[in-house]
A and B are shown apart, each in its own frame.
Chain A
Amino acid sequence: MRRKYLFYTLAFLSGAFTSLMVAMDIWISAKLIPDIWIFGISILWAGVYIHAFLLPILSLKIYENRPIGHFIDPLFKGVFVPSGKVLHYLIIASLGNAIASLTYFFLIDIMPDPSAVLPFSSVVIIYLIIGDMIIEKESPSIAEIEGLFMILIGVILVSFSRGRIDPISLLLVLGPMNFGSFLYNYGQRKAKIFGRKIGQCDSINFRFWSLLFTTLIFSLLLLIFYISPQIVLLGIYYSVVYFLPLAIDMVITFFAAVFYIRALGMGKMSIVNALSSTSVVIGLPLTLVLSFYFPEVYKIPEMTGLFLYLRSIGVILVFLGIIGISLSEVTAYILIRSRPGYSSKLLEEIIRIRGVESVAAIVGRYDFIVRVRTRAYSKAYDTVLRKIIQLEGIEDVHWVSVLKEWERI
Protein backbone atom coordinates (compact mmCIF):
# COMPACT_ATOMS: atom_id res chain seq x y z
CA MET A 1 0.00 0.00 0.00
CA ARG A 2 1.29 3.44 -0.74
CA ARG A 3 2.48 5.09 2.45
CA LYS A 4 0.71 8.31 1.60
CA TYR A 5 -2.68 6.60 1.25
CA LEU A 6 -2.26 4.64 4.49
CA PHE A 7 -1.31 7.86 6.27
CA TYR A 8 -4.34 9.76 4.92
CA THR A 9 -6.67 6.83 5.60
CA LEU A 10 -5.47 6.51 9.20
CA ALA A 11 -5.83 10.21 9.93
CA PHE A 12 -9.24 10.33 8.24
CA LEU A 13 -10.50 7.24 10.10
CA SER A 14 -9.36 8.80 13.34
CA GLY A 15 -11.57 11.82 12.53
CA ALA A 16 -14.52 9.57 11.60
CA PHE A 17 -14.28 7.60 14.85
CA THR A 18 -14.00 10.86 16.82
CA SER A 19 -17.36 11.98 15.38
CA LEU A 20 -18.94 8.66 16.38
CA MET A 21 -17.47 9.02 19.86
CA VAL A 22 -18.96 12.50 20.36
CA ALA A 23 -22.37 11.19 19.20
CA MET A 24 -22.15 8.28 21.66
CA ASP A 25 -21.09 10.64 24.49
CA ILE A 26 -24.17 12.77 23.87
CA TRP A 27 -26.42 9.69 23.87
CA ILE A 28 -25.07 8.33 27.16
CA SER A 29 -25.19 11.70 28.91
CA ALA A 30 -28.77 12.28 27.70
CA LYS A 31 -30.12 8.81 28.45
CA LEU A 32 -28.10 7.23 31.26
CA ILE A 33 -25.87 9.54 33.31
CA PRO A 34 -27.21 13.12 33.23
CA ASP A 35 -24.58 14.55 35.63
CA ILE A 36 -21.75 15.44 33.33
CA TRP A 37 -18.95 15.10 35.90
CA ILE A 38 -20.09 11.68 37.04
CA PHE A 39 -20.36 10.77 33.35
CA GLY A 40 -16.82 12.03 32.70
CA ILE A 41 -15.31 10.01 35.53
CA SER A 42 -17.32 6.88 34.79
CA ILE A 43 -16.44 6.83 31.10
CA LEU A 44 -12.73 7.24 31.79
CA TRP A 45 -12.71 4.46 34.41
CA ALA A 46 -14.77 2.18 32.16
CA GLY A 47 -12.15 2.89 29.49
CA VAL A 48 -9.36 1.77 31.81
CA TYR A 49 -11.22 -1.52 32.59
CA ILE A 50 -11.92 -2.28 28.94
CA HIS A 51 -8.33 -1.54 27.92
CA ALA A 52 -6.97 -3.65 30.78
CA PHE A 53 -9.23 -6.43 29.50
CA LEU A 54 -8.29 -5.91 25.83
CA LEU A 55 -4.52 -5.74 26.34
CA PRO A 56 -3.96 -9.40 27.35
CA ILE A 57 -6.24 -10.51 24.49
CA LEU A 58 -4.31 -8.38 22.00
CA SER A 59 -1.06 -9.87 23.35
CA LEU A 60 -2.18 -13.44 22.56
CA LYS A 61 0.04 -14.91 19.87
CA ILE A 62 -1.97 -16.56 17.11
CA TYR A 63 -0.37 -16.47 13.68
CA GLU A 64 3.39 -16.83 12.98
CA ASN A 65 4.13 -16.04 16.64
CA ARG A 66 2.61 -12.58 16.21
CA PRO A 67 0.22 -11.10 18.79
CA ILE A 68 -3.33 -10.19 17.69
CA GLY A 69 -2.50 -6.50 18.30
CA HIS A 70 0.12 -6.74 15.53
CA PHE A 71 -2.72 -6.63 12.98
CA ILE A 72 -3.92 -3.29 14.39
CA ASP A 73 -0.43 -1.84 14.77
CA PRO A 74 2.55 -3.81 13.35
CA LEU A 75 4.82 -2.29 16.04
CA PHE A 76 2.86 -3.97 18.86
CA LYS A 77 4.87 -6.78 20.43
CA GLY A 78 3.14 -7.13 23.80
CA VAL A 79 2.48 -5.10 26.93
CA PHE A 80 5.27 -2.90 28.30
CA VAL A 81 5.58 -0.55 31.27
CA PRO A 82 6.80 2.83 29.99
CA SER A 83 10.05 4.11 31.43
CA GLY A 84 12.42 7.09 31.21
CA LYS A 85 11.60 9.80 28.70
CA VAL A 86 8.69 7.79 27.22
CA LEU A 87 7.00 7.81 30.64
CA HIS A 88 7.83 11.48 31.09
CA TYR A 89 6.23 12.52 27.78
CA LEU A 90 3.24 10.19 28.19
CA ILE A 91 2.47 11.93 31.50
CA ILE A 92 2.73 15.35 29.80
CA ALA A 93 0.37 14.10 27.05
CA SER A 94 -2.05 12.77 29.68
CA LEU A 95 -2.00 16.07 31.58
CA GLY A 96 -2.94 17.81 28.32
CA ASN A 97 -5.66 15.25 27.66
CA ALA A 98 -7.06 15.68 31.19
CA ILE A 99 -7.16 19.49 30.78
CA ALA A 100 -8.89 19.17 27.38
CA SER A 101 -11.40 16.59 28.73
CA LEU A 102 -12.16 18.72 31.78
CA THR A 103 -12.92 21.71 29.52
CA TYR A 104 -14.96 19.51 27.16
CA PHE A 105 -17.21 18.23 29.98
CA PHE A 106 -17.46 21.71 31.50
CA LEU A 107 -18.67 23.04 28.13
CA ILE A 108 -21.28 20.30 27.76
CA ASP A 109 -22.39 21.20 31.30
CA ILE A 110 -22.80 24.97 30.79
CA MET A 111 -23.87 25.15 27.14
CA PRO A 112 -27.28 24.06 25.85
CA ASP A 113 -25.86 23.61 22.32
CA PRO A 114 -22.17 22.77 22.50
CA SER A 115 -22.08 22.02 18.76
CA ALA A 116 -21.88 25.77 18.16
CA VAL A 117 -18.44 26.03 19.78
CA LEU A 118 -16.91 22.54 19.64
CA PRO A 119 -15.85 22.82 15.97
CA PHE A 120 -13.41 25.46 17.14
CA SER A 121 -11.38 22.72 18.76
CA SER A 122 -9.97 22.00 15.28
CA VAL A 123 -8.32 25.38 15.49
CA VAL A 124 -5.71 23.49 17.52
CA ILE A 125 -4.04 22.96 14.13
CA ILE A 126 -2.79 26.56 14.26
CA TYR A 127 -1.03 25.89 17.56
CA LEU A 128 0.45 22.75 15.99
CA ILE A 129 1.78 24.51 12.89
CA ILE A 130 3.33 27.14 15.17
CA GLY A 131 4.75 24.31 17.33
CA ASP A 132 6.25 22.62 14.24
CA MET A 133 7.68 25.96 13.15
CA ILE A 134 9.34 26.62 16.50
CA ILE A 135 10.82 23.11 16.55
CA GLU A 136 12.03 23.38 12.94
CA LYS A 137 12.96 27.07 13.17
CA GLU A 138 11.29 27.91 9.88
CA SER A 139 8.42 30.04 8.65
CA PRO A 140 5.23 28.55 7.15
CA SER A 141 4.91 28.37 3.38
CA ILE A 142 2.28 30.33 1.46
CA ALA A 143 0.37 27.07 0.83
CA GLU A 144 0.27 26.40 4.56
CA ILE A 145 -0.93 29.90 5.43
CA GLU A 146 -3.66 29.58 2.78
CA GLY A 147 -4.65 26.17 4.08
CA LEU A 148 -4.78 27.38 7.67
CA PHE A 149 -7.02 30.34 6.83
CA MET A 150 -9.34 28.11 4.81
CA ILE A 151 -9.68 25.69 7.73
CA LEU A 152 -10.19 28.53 10.20
CA ILE A 153 -12.89 30.24 8.12
CA GLY A 154 -14.43 26.85 7.26
CA VAL A 155 -14.70 25.92 10.91
CA ILE A 156 -16.32 29.27 11.75
CA LEU A 157 -18.89 28.72 8.97
CA VAL A 158 -19.61 25.09 9.95
CA SER A 159 -20.33 26.18 13.52
CA PHE A 160 -22.96 28.77 12.47
CA SER A 161 -26.31 28.19 14.07
CA ARG A 162 -29.17 30.30 15.41
CA GLY A 163 -27.84 29.72 18.91
CA ARG A 164 -25.70 32.53 20.24
CA ILE A 165 -21.97 31.81 20.47
CA ASP A 166 -21.16 32.39 24.10
CA PRO A 167 -17.82 34.28 24.30
CA ILE A 168 -16.78 32.51 27.53
CA SER A 169 -17.34 29.07 25.99
CA LEU A 170 -15.43 30.14 22.89
CA LEU A 171 -12.53 31.32 25.04
CA LEU A 172 -12.58 27.99 26.87
CA VAL A 173 -12.32 26.10 23.58
CA LEU A 174 -9.62 28.35 22.13
CA GLY A 175 -7.74 28.47 25.45
CA PRO A 176 -7.53 25.46 27.79
CA MET A 177 -9.18 22.94 25.46
CA ASN A 178 -6.90 23.59 22.50
CA PHE A 179 -3.88 24.03 24.76
CA GLY A 180 -4.67 20.65 26.33
CA SER A 181 -4.95 19.05 22.88
CA PHE A 182 -1.68 20.65 21.85
CA LEU A 183 0.06 19.28 24.96
CA TYR A 184 -1.48 15.85 24.26
CA ASN A 185 -0.23 15.84 20.65
CA TYR A 186 3.18 17.14 21.59
CA GLY A 187 3.65 14.58 24.39
CA GLN A 188 2.48 11.66 22.25
CA ARG A 189 4.78 12.59 19.39
CA LYS A 190 7.81 13.09 21.64
CA ALA A 191 7.08 9.82 23.47
CA LYS A 192 6.88 8.08 20.10
CA ILE A 193 10.25 9.49 18.99
CA PHE A 194 12.05 8.41 22.18
CA GLY A 195 10.11 5.14 22.34
CA ARG A 196 11.27 4.13 18.88
CA LYS A 197 14.85 3.87 20.17
CA ILE A 198 13.96 1.47 22.99
CA GLY A 199 11.14 -0.46 21.32
CA GLN A 200 8.34 1.26 23.26
CA CYS A 201 6.35 3.00 20.60
CA ASP A 202 3.22 1.08 19.54
CA SER A 203 -0.07 2.93 19.58
CA ILE A 204 -1.89 0.25 21.63
CA ASN A 205 0.37 0.52 24.67
CA PHE A 206 0.46 4.30 24.27
CA ARG A 207 -3.31 4.44 24.30
CA PHE A 208 -3.62 2.29 27.43
CA TRP A 209 -0.99 4.13 29.46
CA SER A 210 -2.09 7.62 28.47
CA LEU A 211 -5.70 6.69 29.27
CA LEU A 212 -4.71 5.37 32.70
CA PHE A 213 -2.69 8.52 33.49
CA THR A 214 -5.45 10.77 32.09
CA THR A 215 -8.05 9.05 34.29
CA LEU A 216 -5.90 9.47 37.40
CA ILE A 217 -5.07 13.13 36.66
CA PHE A 218 -8.70 13.90 35.71
CA SER A 219 -10.02 12.36 38.95
CA LEU A 220 -7.38 14.22 40.95
CA LEU A 221 -8.16 17.58 39.27
CA LEU A 222 -11.87 17.08 39.97
CA LEU A 223 -11.13 16.33 43.62
CA ILE A 224 -9.08 19.53 43.82
CA PHE A 225 -11.50 21.86 41.98
CA TYR A 226 -14.87 20.29 42.70
CA ILE A 227 -14.01 19.35 46.29
CA SER A 228 -16.51 16.51 46.24
CA PRO A 229 -15.22 12.97 46.76
CA GLN A 230 -18.80 11.66 46.22
CA ILE A 231 -18.72 12.70 42.55
CA VAL A 232 -15.55 10.70 41.98
CA LEU A 233 -16.88 7.69 43.90
CA LEU A 234 -20.27 7.84 42.12
CA GLY A 235 -18.43 8.03 38.80
CA ILE A 236 -16.46 4.88 39.61
CA TYR A 237 -19.73 3.19 40.75
CA TYR A 238 -21.55 4.10 37.49
CA SER A 239 -18.56 2.91 35.46
CA VAL A 240 -19.49 -0.59 36.67
CA VAL A 241 -23.31 -0.22 36.49
CA TYR A 242 -23.37 1.15 32.91
CA PHE A 243 -20.29 -0.73 31.82
CA LEU A 244 -21.66 -1.99 28.49
CA PRO A 245 -22.66 1.30 26.80
CA LEU A 246 -19.60 3.01 28.26
CA ALA A 247 -17.41 0.19 26.98
CA ILE A 248 -18.82 0.53 23.44
CA ASP A 249 -18.09 4.25 23.58
CA MET A 250 -14.55 3.57 24.76
CA VAL A 251 -13.88 0.95 22.08
CA ILE A 252 -14.81 3.61 19.47
CA THR A 253 -12.49 6.05 21.26
CA PHE A 254 -9.78 3.37 21.34
CA PHE A 255 -9.84 3.04 17.55
CA ALA A 256 -9.93 6.82 17.06
CA ALA A 257 -6.84 7.11 19.27
CA VAL A 258 -4.94 4.14 17.81
CA PHE A 259 -5.45 5.39 14.22
CA TYR A 260 -4.46 8.87 15.34
CA ILE A 261 -1.25 7.75 17.10
CA ARG A 262 -0.28 5.53 14.14
CA ALA A 263 -0.77 8.42 11.72
CA LEU A 264 1.25 10.63 14.05
CA GLY A 265 4.19 8.25 13.76
CA MET A 266 4.09 8.60 9.97
CA GLY A 267 3.83 12.31 9.34
CA LYS A 268 3.91 15.78 10.68
CA MET A 269 1.71 16.60 13.67
CA SER A 270 0.01 19.52 11.88
CA ILE A 271 -0.98 17.42 8.84
CA VAL A 272 -2.37 14.59 10.95
CA ASN A 273 -4.51 17.11 12.78
CA ALA A 274 -5.60 18.79 9.61
CA LEU A 275 -6.82 15.42 8.36
CA SER A 276 -8.47 14.29 11.56
CA SER A 277 -10.23 17.65 11.79
CA THR A 278 -12.51 16.13 9.17
CA SER A 279 -14.45 14.99 12.25
CA VAL A 280 -16.04 18.45 12.05
CA VAL A 281 -17.17 17.69 8.52
CA ILE A 282 -18.31 14.12 9.19
CA GLY A 283 -20.08 15.28 12.37
CA LEU A 284 -22.68 17.17 10.35
CA PRO A 285 -24.20 14.34 8.24
CA LEU A 286 -23.83 11.97 11.22
CA THR A 287 -25.88 14.27 13.45
CA LEU A 288 -28.49 14.53 10.66
CA VAL A 289 -28.87 10.74 10.50
CA LEU A 290 -28.91 10.34 14.28
CA SER A 291 -31.43 13.15 14.78
CA PHE A 292 -33.74 11.26 12.42
CA TYR A 293 -33.57 8.02 14.46
CA PHE A 294 -33.22 9.52 17.97
CA PRO A 295 -34.95 12.91 17.80
CA GLU A 296 -35.20 13.07 21.62
CA VAL A 297 -31.39 12.96 22.03
CA TYR A 298 -29.96 14.72 18.96
CA LYS A 299 -31.14 18.10 17.77
CA ILE A 300 -31.55 18.44 14.01
CA PRO A 301 -28.67 20.66 12.93
CA GLU A 302 -29.80 23.88 11.31
CA MET A 303 -29.50 23.15 7.62
CA THR A 304 -32.16 25.40 6.12
CA GLY A 305 -31.81 28.47 3.91
CA LEU A 306 -28.75 30.55 4.63
CA PHE A 307 -27.41 28.06 7.20
CA LEU A 308 -27.30 25.31 4.58
CA TYR A 309 -25.23 27.52 2.26
CA LEU A 310 -22.89 28.76 4.96
CA ARG A 311 -22.29 25.34 6.48
CA SER A 312 -21.77 23.70 3.09
CA ILE A 313 -19.23 26.37 2.11
CA GLY A 314 -17.56 25.79 5.49
CA VAL A 315 -17.28 22.04 4.82
CA ILE A 316 -15.76 22.66 1.36
CA LEU A 317 -13.28 25.19 2.80
CA VAL A 318 -12.12 22.79 5.54
CA PHE A 319 -11.56 20.07 2.93
CA LEU A 320 -9.68 22.38 0.55
CA GLY A 321 -7.53 23.69 3.37
CA ILE A 322 -6.63 20.17 4.44
CA ILE A 323 -5.76 19.10 0.88
CA GLY A 324 -3.70 22.27 0.35
CA ILE A 325 -1.60 21.67 3.44
CA SER A 326 -1.17 17.95 2.79
CA LEU A 327 -0.03 18.32 -0.81
CA SER A 328 2.61 20.94 -0.20
CA GLU A 329 5.09 18.44 1.27
CA VAL A 330 8.09 17.54 -0.93
CA THR A 331 10.24 14.38 -0.90
CA ALA A 332 13.53 14.09 -2.80
CA TYR A 333 16.85 12.28 -2.99
CA ILE A 334 20.18 14.06 -3.16
CA LEU A 335 23.03 12.03 -4.64
CA ILE A 336 26.43 13.24 -3.48
CA ARG A 337 30.00 12.70 -4.58
CA SER A 338 32.59 13.63 -1.96
CA ARG A 339 36.34 14.06 -1.75
CA PRO A 340 38.31 11.15 -0.31
CA GLY A 341 38.76 11.10 3.45
CA TYR A 342 35.57 13.03 4.33
CA SER A 343 33.06 10.16 4.47
CA SER A 344 32.43 9.61 8.18
CA LYS A 345 32.58 13.34 8.98
CA LEU A 346 30.06 14.16 6.23
CA LEU A 347 27.66 11.41 7.31
CA GLU A 348 27.42 12.98 10.76
CA GLU A 349 27.16 16.53 9.41
CA ILE A 350 24.47 15.78 6.82
CA ILE A 351 22.14 13.97 9.21
CA ARG A 352 22.17 17.02 11.49
CA ILE A 353 20.61 19.22 8.77
CA ARG A 354 16.87 19.83 9.30
CA GLY A 355 14.77 18.30 6.55
CA VAL A 356 17.16 15.37 6.02
CA GLU A 357 15.29 12.16 6.78
CA SER A 358 18.12 9.68 6.26
CA VAL A 359 21.61 9.54 4.81
CA ALA A 360 23.42 6.45 3.58
CA ALA A 361 27.09 6.08 2.69
CA ILE A 362 27.13 3.98 -0.48
CA VAL A 363 29.52 2.25 -2.82
CA GLY A 364 29.13 2.88 -6.51
CA ARG A 365 29.03 5.97 -8.68
CA TYR A 366 28.04 8.18 -5.73
CA ASP A 367 29.24 8.35 -2.12
CA PHE A 368 26.04 9.35 -0.33
CA ILE A 369 22.33 9.10 -0.94
CA VAL A 370 20.33 11.55 1.15
CA ARG A 371 16.56 11.38 1.57
CA VAL A 372 14.96 14.78 2.11
CA ARG A 373 11.49 15.84 3.16
CA THR A 374 10.54 19.51 3.33
CA ARG A 375 7.32 21.46 3.64
CA ALA A 376 7.53 23.01 0.14
CA TYR A 377 9.83 23.26 -2.88
CA SER A 378 10.61 26.86 -2.03
CA LYS A 379 12.10 25.67 1.28
CA ALA A 380 14.12 22.80 -0.15
CA TYR A 381 16.98 24.99 -1.38
CA ASP A 382 17.37 27.23 1.67
CA THR A 383 16.82 24.63 4.34
CA VAL A 384 18.62 21.63 2.87
CA LEU A 385 20.51 21.92 -0.42
CA ARG A 386 22.35 25.17 0.38
CA LYS A 387 23.50 23.75 3.71
CA ILE A 388 24.76 20.54 2.10
CA ILE A 389 26.81 22.23 -0.63
CA GLN A 390 28.46 24.44 1.97
CA LEU A 391 29.88 21.40 3.80
CA GLU A 392 33.60 20.78 3.44
CA GLY A 393 34.43 17.75 1.30
CA ILE A 394 31.36 17.88 -1.00
CA GLU A 395 32.34 17.66 -4.64
CA ASP A 396 29.11 17.27 -6.58
CA VAL A 397 25.38 17.02 -5.82
CA HIS A 398 22.44 15.74 -7.87
CA TRP A 399 18.88 16.55 -6.88
CA VAL A 400 16.26 13.90 -7.75
CA SER A 401 12.65 14.87 -6.96
CA VAL A 402 10.21 12.14 -5.94
CA LEU A 403 7.00 12.39 -7.95
CA LYS A 404 5.16 9.33 -6.67
CA GLU A 405 5.96 6.78 -4.02
CA TRP A 406 5.01 3.36 -2.70
CA GLU A 407 6.26 1.83 0.54
CA ARG A 408 5.87 -1.64 2.01
CA ILE A 409 4.26 -1.20 5.42
Chain B
Amino acid sequence: MSKITAYIMINVEVGKTAHVFNMLQKLDFAELVSVTAGEFDIIVRVTVDSLEELFYKTEEIHGIDGVSRTLTLIVEKEAKRED
Protein backbone atom coordinates (compact mmCIF):
# COMPACT_ATOMS: atom_id res chain seq x y z
CA MET B 1 0.00 0.00 0.00
CA SER B 2 1.36 3.40 -0.92
CA LYS B 3 2.10 5.89 1.83
CA ILE B 4 0.18 9.08 2.48
CA THR B 5 2.02 12.39 2.50
CA ALA B 6 0.52 15.53 3.99
CA TYR B 7 1.51 19.06 4.89
CA ILE B 8 0.32 20.20 8.29
CA MET B 9 0.21 23.96 8.61
CA ILE B 10 0.48 25.04 12.24
CA ASN B 11 -0.32 28.28 14.03
CA VAL B 12 1.53 28.69 17.30
CA GLU B 13 0.88 30.78 20.40
CA VAL B 14 3.15 33.81 20.65
CA GLY B 15 6.54 32.95 22.14
CA LYS B 16 6.24 29.17 21.74
CA THR B 17 7.55 28.69 18.17
CA ALA B 18 11.00 27.46 19.21
CA HIS B 19 9.47 24.95 21.65
CA VAL B 20 7.02 23.57 19.05
CA PHE B 21 9.81 23.45 16.41
CA ASN B 22 11.96 21.34 18.75
CA MET B 23 9.10 19.03 19.78
CA LEU B 24 8.11 18.37 16.15
CA GLN B 25 11.64 17.16 15.35
CA LYS B 26 11.16 14.37 17.90
CA LEU B 27 8.12 12.93 16.07
CA ASP B 28 9.22 9.99 13.92
CA PHE B 29 6.67 10.70 11.18
CA ALA B 30 7.85 14.31 10.61
CA GLU B 31 10.10 14.55 7.55
CA LEU B 32 10.57 18.27 7.19
CA VAL B 33 9.81 21.01 9.69
CA SER B 34 9.96 24.63 8.51
CA VAL B 35 9.48 27.73 10.64
CA THR B 36 7.78 30.21 8.34
CA ALA B 37 6.70 33.83 8.07
CA GLY B 38 3.27 34.48 6.59
CA GLU B 39 -0.10 32.87 7.13
CA PHE B 40 1.32 29.99 9.21
CA ASP B 41 4.07 29.76 11.80
CA ILE B 42 5.29 26.23 11.10
CA ILE B 43 4.82 23.85 8.17
CA VAL B 44 5.46 20.12 8.74
CA ARG B 45 5.68 17.50 6.02
CA VAL B 46 4.63 14.07 7.28
CA THR B 47 4.39 10.59 5.79
CA VAL B 48 2.09 7.95 7.26
CA ASP B 49 0.61 4.58 6.25
CA SER B 50 -3.12 5.41 6.34
CA LEU B 51 -5.63 8.19 6.83
CA GLU B 52 -6.48 6.76 10.23
CA GLU B 53 -2.83 7.01 11.24
CA LEU B 54 -2.78 10.61 9.95
CA PHE B 55 -5.69 11.37 12.29
CA TYR B 56 -3.79 10.05 15.34
CA LYS B 57 -0.57 11.78 14.31
CA THR B 58 -2.40 15.09 13.92
CA GLU B 59 -3.83 14.54 17.41
CA GLU B 60 -0.27 14.05 18.62
CA ILE B 61 0.69 17.42 17.15
CA HIS B 62 -2.35 19.04 18.80
CA GLY B 63 -1.01 17.72 22.10
CA ILE B 64 2.18 19.79 21.84
CA ASP B 65 2.09 22.76 24.20
CA GLY B 66 1.80 25.99 22.18
CA VAL B 67 0.00 24.63 19.09
CA SER B 68 -3.15 26.71 18.64
CA ARG B 69 -4.51 25.62 15.24
CA THR B 70 -3.62 23.19 12.44
CA LEU B 71 -4.63 22.80 8.83
CA THR B 72 -3.91 19.47 7.15
CA LEU B 73 -3.38 19.40 3.41
CA ILE B 74 -3.18 15.87 1.98
CA VAL B 75 -1.00 15.36 -1.11
CA GLU B 76 -2.79 13.72 -4.05
CA LYS B 77 -0.01 13.95 -6.60
CA GLU B 78 3.50 15.32 -6.41
CA ALA B 79 6.18 16.34 -8.91
CA LYS B 80 9.82 16.97 -8.01
CA ARG B 81 12.44 18.73 -10.04
CA GLU B 82 15.70 16.84 -10.42
CA ASP B 83 18.19 19.60 -11.30
Listed in ascending order, the chain A residues whose CB lies under 8 Å from chain B are 135, 193, 196-197, 331, 333, 335, 344, 347-348, 350-351, 356-366, 369, 398-408
Contact = CB atoms under 8 A, between A and B. Distances in A.
25 contacts: A193-B82, A193-B83, A197-B82, A331-B34, A333-B43, A335-B39, A347-B79, A351-B79, A357-B80, A358-B80, A360-B76, A361-B75, A361-B78, A364-B74, A365-B71, A365-B73, A366-B73, A369-B7, A401-B36, A401-B37, A402-B34, A402-B43, A405-B34, A406-B25, A407-B32
B38 A400 contact: yes
Contacts of B81: 351, 356-358
Interface in B40-60: 40, 43
Contact of A403 (B36, B76, B80): B36
A361 B77 contact: yes
Contacts of B38: 398-401
Interface of B: 5, 7, 21, 24-25, 30-40, 43, 71-83
Contact of B79 (A333, A358, A365): A358
Nearest to A364: B73
Contacts of A348: 79
Contacts of A361: 75-78
B35 A359 contact: no
A153 B76 CA distance: 50
Nearest to B29: A408
B72 to A, nearest CB: 7
Given A400-B37, A403-B35, A405-B35, A358 B76 contact: no
A281 B36 CA distance: 35
A392 B83 CA distance: 25
Nearest to B28: A408
Contact of B21 (A357, A401, A404, A407): A404
A249 B75 CA distance: 48
Interface centre among A351, A358, A360, A361 (most CB of B within 10 A): A360
Contacts of B74: 362-364
Query: Closest 5 interchain pairs by CB?
Result: A400-B38, A364-B73, A362-B73, A404-B35, A351-B79
B62 to A, nearest CB: 17
